[in-house]
Structure 1
Amino acid sequence: MSAAKFVSSFRLASLLRHEKDPSAAFKLFRNPNPETANPERPFRYSLLCYDIIITKLGRAKMFDELQHVLYQLKSDTRIAPTEVIFCNVIDFYARGRLPNHALQLFDDMPLYRCQRTVKSVNSLLNALLKCRQFEKMSDILLGMEKFGNPDACTYNILINGCFRNGCCDDAWRLFDEMLRNKVKPSGVTFGTLIHGLCRDSKVKEALKMKHDMLKMYGVRPTIHVYASLIKALCEIGELSLAFKLKEEANEGKIKLDSAIYSTLISSLLKVGRSNEVSGLLEEMRENLCKPDTVTYNVLINGFCIKSDTESACRVLDEMEEKGCKPDVISFNMVLAALCKAKKLTEASYLFEDMPRRGCGPDVVSYRVVFDGLCDGMQSKEAASILDEMLFKGYKPRRDGLERFLKGLCQNGNLEILGKVMGSLHQRDAIDAEIWSIIIDTAFKELKICHMSDSIDLLLTR
């Protein structure tokens, strides 16, 4: 029998790179040569091996295993890790919402034989921003001089943090400081500032900043700048100016995304200019910007608001024809519009057809159809939907259930009422308050004189 092939550090790096299962990769990393392991001659890992396994474990959020590898790296004095490895780990901790881990690793970087610069400071600031640790961001800034001068990335992160924390004045002070320190603002800087102005309804100031960023600072507006401005203009009804900005972006060879087109389509529908929507959709396709689910949902919502259920259903069909799968929100909007229009048969057909079309109903779907059937006095169908809803672990809206039960009492539908009460009891969806409502209604509507008689009557149905 031939001896097992020895795995070198070069071979290990290749094996780790091609191993898709992070748990298996970690096991391989821990013991690359199980049959030839020699405690007196430990395996000599390369920096590439460490980098690959750290990336795999970080992406998989296997933080306990990642900690083990980092501890081993700290002890492996042959290796001098690069700063980018720690920047990546700090980002992994941010995604896992582990800001204290990120802070600790940053403090420990010298123990790994790695010098900290503004790059790792920026990674830490960004991690704290993602975790909304605004006060800790300020603490890091106080000791910034030890690691180098703040760059554009530093200021961008800090300005973003100020806006997110509601400290708009501090954001503008940071921008002034940035200019004083001769740090050139970037497109991200202006995108953040303009977004903040738009959010505060300062659209005129935001438009001026867009003009100044090119004329005064030589920075071309980005898609994020146009997105913020177009959305803000649409919100205040300045559609002509919003479309002018769209044309300006197109002329500047800035590829607009579906979110911007969706905003414009929604605004057109709100002001009754639905005849212009088809042209905008055609422009999207010409610009190789494929309408997505959000775009189509905007269309569906616009038609539903106007009670144009026929057009809303047509959009659902078009989505599938164009290879864009409707989501549960798409179906729920149409279901709600059909129920509101008392088109209960169509709503029921659509509801039953959802699984075949690749989208199972959720709790909202069931509630919409149940409430619609109740309002339409279709008690038998409503009871069936309720039973299915309870079976799936969903519960109806409290007020809708109470109206349904009272209606059954008032109409003398004792057989359906008994089945519904039994179903509610079986699924633990009935409480003392519901019993009180039913018994009280039974006294008034069914002329039952004794509480025990009303309970017996319901339970024997």
Structure 2
Amino acid sequence: MAKLEKVSPFRLTSLLRLQKDPNLALQLFLNPNRSPKPFRYSLLSYDLVITKLGRAKMFDEMEQIIEQLKNETRFVPKEIIFCNIIAFYGRARLADRALKTFDQIPSFRCQRTIKSLNSLLNALLSCQEFEKMREFFVGIDQYAVPDVCTYNILINACCLCDDLDSAWNVFDEMQKRRIWPNAVTFGTLISGLCANCKLDEAFRLKEAMVRGFRLKPNAFVYASLIKGLCKANELSLAFKLKDEMLKCKIELGSRVYSTLISALFKVGRKEDVIGVLEEMRENGCKPDAVTYNAMIYGFCQEKDFDAAFGVLSEMEVKGCKPDVTSYNVIIGGLCRDGKLREANELFEDMPRRKCASDVITYRTLFDGLCDGMHFKEAAFILDEMVFKGYAPRTASMMKFVDELCQSGNLKLLWTVLNSLAKGNLIDVDTWRMVVHMVCKNNKLLNASDLVETLQMP
């Protein structure tokens, strides 16, 4: 029997790069030759397997590899590996693990620079840990000298908190430190100003960007301004700005056109949407799900459901698969218009259309059925929702239980409570409401059974 060919360190990196399954990549890394003999891993092989595990959110397994990396003496890990790890934790909203990784970098004999600090600040921003961001920035000099990326992250945090005064203070401080702002800096500030309806300041900043800093506005800057103008119903200026983008040969993405389409529906100019779609195609911008969903939403707001369904059909003809948002918008519109049977039929037809419902789908239909006093159907949707691991909005659930208590429909109430108990969704307020109703109606014989239901894990 022929011996199995041994895997070299170089061969291992090639195999890891080709392996799509993170579990198989991990097994291959841990035992490349199926032998107890030590294996001389390369730094690249560590980087590859850590990246695959981090993207798959297999964090415990990733930590196992990181701990093994710490014991390597043949090389020093590069800082970019830790930047990536911190980013993985940030996207997973695991701020504590991101902080721990940053603190451990020196134990790998790797020097921390502004790159890892920026990665940490960005991770904390993703986790909305604004106070921890502030603490790190106050003591930033003990780690590294801040750069433009550092300040851009801080400005973004201020804008997300709607604290524009602090954003301006950060902008002023970076200039005092002789750190030149870039297009991202201005784009973030302009986006924050537009979101807070400060359009005059946003346009002044755009002019300062060009004249004072010799920077060309990018697509993000224009998109933010157009969105702000549409929000303020300044459509003529929005279209003028769109034309300026074309003149400056800045690529218009589908989101800019989708914003304009939504604004046209909002002001009752749906007949102009066809012209926008034609211009999109002429400029080589293919309508996508965002574009079509903007049209679906507009037709639903006008209660023109035939047209909304027509857009769904057009999407399929044009090779653009409707996403769950497409269906959620129509289901929501039908529910608001009291067309509950049609909404439920579309919901049940989603699997045939190869689109899985999500928590928004269930919540939208559940709320609609409750508002329409279709309690039996709402109870059925609630049970299915809980079975799939979803939960209704707390306010909706409380309102539903209250309606059942007021109507005295104890049989259906009992069914609903059992469904809620399966998902561990019964809180103290629900307990009080139901117990009060049971006692008020002298149903004390059922009270002990009710307590057992409410205590289900």
TM-score > 0.5 by shorter chain = yes
Equivalents in 1 of 2:102, 2:417: separation in Å?
56
Q: Tell whether the 8 Å contact from 2:183 to 2:215 is kept in structure 1 after alignment.
A: yes
Partner of 1:222: 218
Matches for 1:226-305 after TM superposition, within 5 Å: 226-305=222-301
Tell me by how many angstroms 1:280 deviates. Answer: 0.7
In structure 2, what residue type is equivalent to 1:389?
I
Aligned counterpart in structure 1 of residue 54 of structure 2, from 54, 58, 64:
58
Partner of 1:19: 19
Equivalents in 1 of 2:308, 2:298: separation in Å?
8
Matches for 1:176-187 after TM superposition, within 5 Å: 176-187=172-183
Partner of 2:154: 158
Q: Does 1:173 align with 2:172?
A: no
Partner of 1:126: 122
Partner of 1:363: 362
Q: Tell whether the 8 Å contact from 1:261 to 1:280 is kept in structure 2 after alignment.
A: yes
Equivalents in 2 of 1:172, 1:194: separation in Å?
11
Partner of 1:9: 9
Q: Secondary structure at the match of 2:352?
A: helix
Structure 1, 171-180 or 340-349: larger mean CA deviation: 340-349
Equivalents in 1 of 2:312, 2:176: separation in Å?
55
Q: Tell whether the 8 Å contact from 1:340 to 1:372 is kept in structure 2 after alignment.
A: no
Residue 23 to residue 243, structure 1, CA distance change in 2 (3 Å): same
Aligned counterpart in structure 1 of residue 184 of structure 2, from 182, 188, 194:
188
In structure 2, what residue type is equivalent to 1:60?
A
Tell me by how many angstroms 1:220 deviates. Answer: 1.0
Partner of 1:456: none
Residue 330 to residue 435, structure 1, CA distance change in 2 (3 Å): farther
Q: Tell whether the 8 Å contact from 1:129 to 1:161 is kept in structure 2 after alignment.
A: yes
Q: Secondary structure at the match of 1:326?
A: coil
In structure 1, what residue type is equivalent to 2:179?
V
Partner of 1:443: none
Residue 383 to residue 91, structure 1, CA distance change in 2 (3 Å): closer
Equivalents in 1 of 2:145, 2:431: separation in Å?
64
Residue 130 to residue 385, structure 1, CA distance change in 2 (3 Å): closer
Q: Does 1:135 align with 2:127?
A: no
Q: Deviations over 1:273-301 (max 9, x none)?
A: 11111111112222232323332222222
Q: Secondary structure at the match of 1:172?
A: helix
Q: Secondary structure at the match of 1:197?
A: helix
Q: TM-score by structure 2 length?
A: 0.79
Q: Deviations over 1:74-102 (max 9, x none)?
A: 22111122221221122122223232333
Equivalents in 2 of 1:81, 1:240: separation in Å?
55
Residue 167 to residue 303, structure 1, CA distance change in 2 (3 Å): closer
Tell me by how many angstroms 1:352 deviates. Answer: 5.1
Tell me by how many angstroms 1:149 deviates. Answer: 2.7
Tell me by how many angstroms 1:164 deviates. Answer: 2.6
Q: Deviations over 1:339-395 (max 9, x none)?
A: 666767766764554433233664256447746986xxxxxxx68855753663578
Q: Tell whether the 8 Å contact from 1:336 to 1:368 is kept in structure 2 after alignment.
A: no
Structure 1, 204-213 or 157-166: larger mean CA deviation: 157-166
Q: Deviations over 1:93-135 (max 9, x none)?
A: 2223232333333233232222222222222221222222223
Q: Secondary structure at the match of 1:324?
A: coil
Q: Does 1:310 align with 2:306?
A: yes
Q: Tell whether the 8 Å contact from 1:335 to 1:369 is kept in structure 2 after alignment.
A: no
Equivalents in 1 of 2:170, 2:328: separation in Å?
45
Equivalents in 2 of 1:141, 1:433: separation in Å?
48
Query: What's the C-alpha RMSD, in Å, of the aligned pairs?
Result: 3.7
Q: Deviations over 1:145-196 (max 9, x none)?
A: 3444322111111221222344432221221122222222111000111112
Equivalents in 2 of 1:425, 1:179: separation in Å?
60
Unaligned segments of structure 1, at least 5 residues: 375-381, 410-416, 441-450, 452-461
Partner of 1:392: 384
Partner of 2:426: none
In structure 2, what residue type is equivalent to 1:11?
R
Q: Percent identity over the alignment? A: 49
In structure 1, what residue type is equivalent to 2:384?
K
Partner of 1:379: none
Q: How many residues align?
A: 425
Which entry has the higher C-alpha Rg, 1 or 2? Answer: 1
Q: Tell whether the 8 Å contact from 2:370 to 2:378 is kept in structure 1 after alignment.
A: no
In structure 2, what residue type is equivalent to 1:24?
L
Tell me by how many angstroms 1:307 deviates. Answer: 2.5
Tell me by how many angstroms 1:244 deviates. Answer: 0.9
Partner of 2:455: none
Residue 436 to residue 311, structure 1, CA distance change in 2 (3 Å): farther
Partner of 1:144: 140
Matches for 1:341-380 after TM superposition, within 5 Å: 350=346, 353-359=349-355, 362-364=361-363, 366-367=365-366, 370=369
Tell me by how many angstroms 1:423 deviates. Answer: 7.3
Equivalents in 1 of 2:179, 2:47: separation in Å?
32
Residue 59 to residue 169, structure 1, CA distance change in 2 (3 Å): same
Q: Tell whether the 8 Å contact from 1:73 to 1:79 is kept in structure 2 after alignment.
A: no
Residue 69 to residue 236, structure 1, CA distance change in 2 (3 Å): same
Q: Tell whether the 8 Å contact from 1:259 to 1:294 is kept in structure 2 after alignment.
A: yes
Structure 1, 422-431 or 138-147: larger mean CA deviation: 422-431
Residue 68 to residue 275, structure 1, CA distance change in 2 (3 Å): same
Residue 252 to residue 71, structure 1, CA distance change in 2 (3 Å): same
In structure 2, what residue type is equivalent to 1:12?
L
In structure 2, what residue type is equivalent to 1:363?
Y
Equivalents in 2 of 1:167, 1:284: separation in Å?
36
Tell me by how many angstroms 1:225 deviates. Answer: 1.0
Equivalents in 2 of 1:157, 1:385: separation in Å?
48
Aligned counterpart in structure 2 of residue 334 of structure 1, from 323, 330, 339:
330
Partner of 1:448: none
In structure 2, what residue type is equivalent to 1:14?
S
Q: Tell whether the 8 Å contact from 2:404 to 2:410 is kept in structure 1 after alignment.
A: no
Equivalents in 1 of 2:433, 2:96: separation in Å?
47
Equivalents in 2 of 1:312, 1:183: separation in Å?
50
Equivalents in 2 of 1:349, 1:64: separation in Å?
43
Equivalents in 2 of 1:53, 1:428: separation in Å?
41
Equivalents in 1 of 2:216, 2:303: separation in Å?
43
Q: Tell whether the 8 Å contact from 1:367 to 1:397 is kept in structure 2 after alignment.
A: no
Tell me by how many angstroms 1:421 deviates. Answer: 8.6
Residue 386 to residue 233, structure 1, CA distance change in 2 (3 Å): closer
